[in-house]
Every structure is written in structure tokens, then in C-alpha cells.
Amino acid sequence: MKYNKTDKKDNTFNCWVCSNEIEPFMSFGKQPIANNFLLEKDFDNEYFFEMETAFCPNCYSFQLKNQPSPEQMFNENYAFFSGTSKLMADHFKKFSSMVLSFIESDKDPFVVEIGSNDGIMLTNFAKKNIKHLGIDPSENVVNVSKEKGINAVVDFFDEEVAKKTVEKYGKASAFIAANVMCHIPYINSIVDGIDILMKDDGVVIFEDPYLGEVVKKTTYDQIYDEHTFLFSAHSIKEIFARKGFELIDLIPQETHGGSMRYILAKKGARTVSKNVSEILNLEQDQGLTSPETFKIFKNNCEEYKRKLLSTLEEIRSSGKSIAGYAATSKSTTIINYCGITNNHIDCIYDTTPIKQGKFSPGSHIPIKPHSDFSQNYPDYALLFGYNHSKEIFAKEKDFVAQGGKWITYVPDIKII
């Protein structure tokens, strides 16, 4: 895996994509590993890094300057299990149908997914007996996928793994990924790997949190250690152009607070939808190609931080209790950037067993099982899982019925 961290004396660094020398436009301060839910005995050894963001005007990539090494984040203790959300399972079922519609004329279809996690997507291909391979470096989640009958390996995808895959299985009809491409600093090596792996008429379909939504709604919580990039159509176009790929479609998604599905193929191999030029134009109008946009974004983040803290402090000073709801990876940035501590919220309720009984990264707020929530309703619940709000509001009607209130912060800070 080609992962070369830059370490220069001034604050500049080389863009992860085009090597252009760039400088961060803001810092979110010291941040921990967002998925590192830990025990008290590990507090003293917790890893922190300065989380700074930069925009490259040459290739339009919004990126982190520093982050922990991939091995520190993705290993046998990875805490994110995709299968915890029913809505996401439905989402990936529909995603898989779209993939199949692109490869229906292929007599020997082969689907490769990176970041296959617990098999939430590939299970749809396995059930149809379609040749598939999941590649994911986090052993614990891969083992769960194998128990579901999915063919998967524990590895970091790159061009070397692509070569091995072609030798063993032949070339792929579809390369798919969700919420993983944006995690990979050595993104050029991924594109090299895709180029090696794909059949000439193969299709690349992946989705990630969308920069356009983050800027529009100031959802800076999408910025955390794992998210090396927040992509736009402009940045993806540049990243893939080097190997002769072009965007053939772009489909906005509601998942993760606003994502974009990117569909690419070798130049000229497939018809290009008019969505591509339309969305590229919208991005231009929104300023996603201009460094000025990110100066405004920085001011908006600072304003949100002030507002959220004062809301929590006002509630606490009136003697009411607040608990966090859903210990999402995204909440790590909110909590640590805003300085939310155990003095503001008593605990965070979450459904993931591996997080329960531990403490939140950085601020060390206790994580309690979701089943305890209804035993001990707080006066207010701070909705860290806002991207799952439909599902959560539907199942927590009793909380509201007995007088509980939600604090939400996307798209604005509200008490409902």
C-alpha cells in the first residue's frame, strides 16, 4: 500500500491526488480516532492528531492534511458494522439492483466490492449466486460477512491486490464501494488498481458523503480521521481522468446526511447521462471549485460550534438532563471540536454491542446500551444519529410522548 505521509516544517503539504503544494484553511483541533471507543484503562494512551482541512485548487480535492495510518483505523477491532441499520440494508439492496442493470449483458459477471464490511451489500449478489469478492482490511467485520456466505478477503485494496485478484478470478464487470473511497489517502493507487481489475466495458459505481451537501448544510461532522476526502463530481472527474475513466452518471443520495453516487466507465465505452454536465454546472455555481467557499465554510463551522455549546449550556443550567443518541463516528468531530463533555451530556445510548460499556473517543463520555434509554429517559436527547432520524423518530415515539425533546443540529440547531 502506497501511503507516504508528508511532514514539512511549514504548514504546507502535497495534495494527496495531484501533489500540488497546498496549505490547510482551518484546524478542528486535536482529534482522536473517531471509531476508537475505549476503556478507562486506555485513556492515557489514546492517540490524537491535529485535524486540519485543505482544498486543492488544482484538482478540487477537499482533504485532510494529517490522519492516523490506515492500519490504526482499519483492523480487527473496527467498531463500525454496516448491518446495524435496516434502512441501509434496504439502500444497498437497491444499489445492488442498479449494479446488476449495468452488467446484465455480461455472460460471466464478477462484482468486486471494497470496504465490504459485514457483507451488507454483497449478500444481495451472493443470494443470486453471482461471482463476487469483498475486500476489506478489518478482520472482525470480514468474518461476519463470511458467516453470511460471502466470499471476502482481509486486505487493503490497491494495485497489488488488484493484480492478485485478476490472477485468481479474472477481470471484473463491476467495481463497487460505499463510504470507503473517501477513506483512502493513496487514492491514485486505488484508481491504478481499478484500471488493472476492470474489463474494457466494466463499470465503477461508488458513493460517499458529498462535499456539496457538507458545504450547504455546514455538516462539518463528516470531517473525521477516516475521511481523507470529501469528494465532489469535479474532484472525482480529475482523480479518474488520469487512467482514462469518465463520469457517465451522478446520482445524489440521501444517505449519511447527503451523499453522491459516482458512476464511471472507460472513456467512450458507455453513454454519458446529462446529469453529469448538470451537476458539474451546479457545483461551479455553488463555488465548489473556489477556495473562497472554504473561508466562508470555516466561519460557518465556528458559528455552529458557538450555537450548539450555548444551547447545551442553557439546558444544563436550567437543571435538565441531556443524553446523546447514537455514538456515530461523525459525533466524534462534533463532540471534540465543540468541547462537549460529560458535564453537558450524561452518556450516549447506542445499539452497537462493541461500543457499549466503553467511552467515546477523546471526550470519554460513557456509551450505554440502547435498551437502557427507555429505562431512564433524559429530558433532552442530542441526536448524533441525525442521518438515521426517520428510523429513530419512528421507534422512539414513547420518548416524545412522555415529554422528551430532541436536540438536532442539522440543517440547523433545533429543539423538537
Residues 92-131 interacting with ligand SAM (rule: CB under 6 A): 114-115, 117, 120
Q: Is 58 in the site for Zn ion (CB under 5 A)?
A: yes
- What are the φ/ψ torsions at residue 274 (nearest 5 degrees)? -70, -15
By C-beta, is 59 or 327 nearer to Zn ion?
A: 59
Residue 103 contacts which entry, Zn ion, ligand SAM, ligand TMP, none (Cβ below 5-8 A, type-dependent): none
Rounded least distance, CB 22 to Zn ion, Å: 7
Q: Is 150 in the site for ligand SAM (CB under 6 A)?
A: no
Q: Which of 12, 14, 20, 408 binds Zn ion (CB under 5 A)?
A: 20
Residue 35 contacts which entry, ligand TMP, ligand SAM, Zn ion, none (Cβ below 5-8 A, type-dependent): none
Q: Is 84 in the site for ligand TMP (CB under 6 A)?
A: yes
Q: Is 392 in the site for ligand TMP (CB under 6 A)?
A: yes
Q: Which of 37, 74, 210, 304 binds ligand SAM (CB under 6 A)?
A: 74
Rounded least distance, CB 326 to ligand TMP, Å: 4
Mark residue 331 as left, alpha or beta (left: phi above 0; alpha: psi -120 to 50; beta: remaining).
Answer: alpha
Q: Half-sphere exposure of residue 314, counting CA atoms within 13 Å on the CB side?
A: 8
Q: Which of 180, 205, 288, 381 binds ligand SAM (CB under 6 A)?
A: 180
Q: Which of 3, 12, 14, 18 binds Zn ion (CB under 5 A)?
A: 18
Angle, vertex CA 11, rays to CA 5 and CA 15, nearest 5:
50
Residue 183 contacts which entry, ligand SAM, ligand TMP, Zn ion, none (Cβ below 5-8 A, type-dependent): ligand SAM
Dist CA 410 CA 383 (whole Å): 9
Residue 328 contacts which entry, ligand TMP, ligand SAM, Zn ion, none (Cβ below 5-8 A, type-dependent): ligand TMP
Q: Are strands 110-114 and 172-178 parallel, antiparallel or unpaired?
A: parallel
Residue 56 contacts which entry, ligand TMP, Zn ion, ligand SAM, none (Cβ below 5-8 A, type-dependent): Zn ion
- Piece in contact with ligand SAM (CB under 6 A), picked from 172-180, 239-247, 262-270, 311-319: 172-180
By C-beta, is 17 or 150 nearer to Zn ion?
A: 17
Q: Is 52 in the site for ligand SAM (CB under 6 A)?
A: no
- Piece in contact with Zn ion (CB under 5 A), picked from 9-17, 26-34, 203-211, 329-337: 9-17
Rounded least distance, CB 350 to ligand TMP, Å: 4
Q: Which of 212, 245, 387, 409 binds ligand TMP (CB under 6 A)?
A: 387
- What are the φ/ψ torsions at residue 328 (nearest 5 degrees)? -75, 160
Q: Which of 16, 62, 110, 157 binds ligand SAM (CB under 6 A)?
A: 157
Q: Is 253 in the site for ligand TMP (CB under 6 A)?
A: no
Of 38, 32, 42, whose CA–CA distance to 67 is shortest? Answer: 32
Q: Which of 59, 184, 288, 312 binds ligand SAM (CB under 6 A)?
A: 184
- Piece in contact with ligand TMP (CB under 6 A), picked from 59-67, 128-136, 243-251, 383-391: 383-391
Number of other CB atoms surrounding residue 372 within 10 Å: 12
Q: Which of 134, 350, 359, 406 binds ligand TMP (CB under 6 A)?
A: 350
Residues 302-331 interacting with ligand TMP (rule: CB under 6 A): 326-330
Per-residue exposure over 106-143, b if at least 16 CB sit within 10 Å of its own CB, e if not:
beebbbbbbbbbbbbbbbbbbeeebbbbbbbbbebbbe
Dist CA 396 CA 413 (whole Å): 20
Q: Is 59 in the site for Zn ion (CB under 5 A)?
A: yes
Of 112, 69, 30, whose CA–CA distance to 228 is shortest? Answer: 69
Dist CA 143 CA 178 (whole Å): 19
By the criterion CB under 5 A, which residues form the site for Zn ion? 15, 17-18, 20, 56, 58-59, 61
By the criterion CB under 6 A, which residues form the site for ligand TMP? 84-85, 326-330, 350-352, 355, 370, 385, 387-388, 391-392
By the criterion CB under 6 A, which residues form the site for ligand SAM? 70, 74, 78, 80, 82, 114-115, 117, 120, 135-138, 141, 156-157, 178-180, 183-184
